[in-house]
Amino acid sequence: MTEAAAHSIRPAGKDALDEAAAILRTGGLVAFPTETVYGLGADATNDRAVAAIFEAKGRPRFNPLIVHLPAAAALEGIAEVDRRAQDVAARFWPGPLSLVLPRAKASPVSLLCSAGLDSLAVRVPAHPVAMQLLLRVGRPLAAPSANRSGRVSPTRASHVAESLGAEVSLILDGGPCPIGLESTVLDLSGKEPVLLRPGAVTREELEAVVGQLRDPEADGPHKSPGRLKSHYAPRLPLRLNAKAVGPDEALLAFGPTPPSGAAMTLNLSPEADLQEAAANLFAYLRALDRPDLTAIAAMTVPEESLGVAINDRLTRAAAR
Ligand code: TXA
Ligand code: MG
């Protein structure tokens, strides 16, 4: 960033949305809420603005960005839409699903968003603030999660301020994100559909529309850089499948009967509700990441529906 602007957090009312749109149209960065996590937005057609995202996040250049649109119809001229893409878009948009599609020939979207690939990730978010912002700006918005690269995604405006406060002049506050996990990423750029990142739209729901999904492992790391193993890392080591816990540890609990004895315990969902657990995950990981403790011990979450995405994030947070 050329200037170290002091951030301001503003409730996402009409005036704040107007100001945000003006900042974005002149190449600035604005953080805004979506139904998944807060995004760090920039005009996707402005190379310098997109580059500023990478700079603000300290993100490796090879990690491409998701471009947000107000409707599937806005894909015209931006990315190639085949029958499969049409079908999943009709079924799940607006919603927590990103599609990786071939770039259109003369796509106005910055090549930086594709980070060297010939594809582009796009989604239509289901959040009134994100939607109003997209409509006001009238341009596609590139928006990765509004955290420093490799750190947990922000699900509240205050998380953005903690992580990127100096890099972003305006943070639109729309309250806590209802889903709290990043979008499902489905790669439709090749012949077979590939699930690159699990999320709130599940494998089963997608397979009902596009048929069997291939796993990304076969593609190697170059194809899905977001699956770098250590990606959602708190500072403390994370211990998985915890059944007991020590007095120097923080416990990320799940369900009605967590073990006792931790220095601090936060329960993702005492009722074992996976949706509630997903919405709490990143906020709790942050709160438990205390420098005076030795580790975060995480209890097992069932490997079903949203639990798949939760375990994916936990496994990566544990990898180092
Ligand atoms: O829920 C979300 O998707 C949030 C909100 C703000 O929309 N955004 C988000 O963006 O999580 P980000 O940049 O943190 O994650 C984007 C993921 C990364 O794993 C990235 O590697 C992958 O999508 N991705 C983006 N473009 C891609 C492409 N062309 N090919 C393969 N993977 C891509
Ligand atoms: Mg991210």
Q: What is the pLDDT of residues 96-137, one digit of tens each?
A: 999 999 999 999 999 889 877 889 999 999 999 999 999 999
pLDDT for residue 60: 58
Q: What is the tally of helices (H) and strands (E) in the chain?
A: 9, 14
* Ligand 1 atom at shortest distance from the alpha carbon of 185: 23
Residue 24 has pLDDT above 70, yes or no: yes
Calculate how far, in angstroms, residue 122's C-alpha sits from the geometric centre of ligand 1: 9
Is the pLDDT confidence value at 15 over 90? Answer: yes
Identify which of 66, 111, 222 to mutate to test ligand 1's pocket (most ligand atoms within 8 A of the CB).
66
Predicted TM-score of the model (pTM): 0.84
Q: Considering only CA atoms, which of 307, 300, 298 is closest in space to residue 238?
A: 298
Task: Of 319, 315, 299, 286, give the one whose Cα is nearest residue 151.
Answer: 286
For ligand 1, whether the C-beta of 226 sits within 6 Å is yes
117 lines ligand 1 (CB under 6 A): yes
Ligand 1 centroid – CA 90 distance (Å): 20
What is the per-residue pLDDT across 232-280, written as a single tens digit (0 to 9) for each?
578 999 999 999 999 999 999 999 999 999 999 999 999 999 878 887 8
Position in ligand 1 atom list of the atom nearest CA 119? 29
* Structure confidence at residue 317 (pLDDT): 83
The vertex-137 CA angle with 8 and 93, nearest 5°, equals: 105
pLDDT in tens, 131-167: 999 999 999 999 999 998 888 899 999 999 999 988 8
Supply φ then ψ for residue 280, to 5 degrees: -90, -15
Give the per-residue pLDDT at 207. Answer: 97
d(CA 72, CA 74): 5
**What is the Cα–Cα distance from 163 to 304, expressed in whole angstroms?**
31
> What is the pLDDT at residue 90?
98
- Please state whether beta strands 249-253 and 295-298 pair in parallel, antiparallel, or not at all (unpaired): parallel
* Alpha helices for the chain (secondary structure H): 14-25, 47-57, 83-92, 111-114, 128-137, 157-164, 203-210, 274-288, 306-318
* 91 exposure class (CB count in 10 Å sphere: 0-12, 13-18, 19+): middle
Local structure of 103: helix, strand or coil: strand
